[in-house]
Amino acid sequence: MGWNDHVCYVEMECKECGEVDDWEFWDDVGRQRYVGRIGEIVGQDATKHGKCPACGSTNGVEVEDDEDDDW
């Protein structure tokens, strides 16, 4: 089992800075396992859980896919 088994990416819009990006959401096991030294070794930071990658805010809303945008 690797780090990517514990994280999922959700496209979110930040209500603080307006940035639309993929936010990391870690499960409980991943947050416990990949915080600190182990996270540094594998190049992952589980402390980013549920935070805007641009400003670090936790205030965001999931971007819903609009079927009309598909060509």
Q: Quick: pLDDT tens for 14-71.
A: 999 999 999 999 999 888 888 888 888 888 888 889 999 999 999 999 998 766 555 5
Domain range summary for the chain, segments of one domain joined by +:
3-64
pTM: 0.77
Burial of 57 (0-12, 13-18, 19+ CB in 10 A): middle
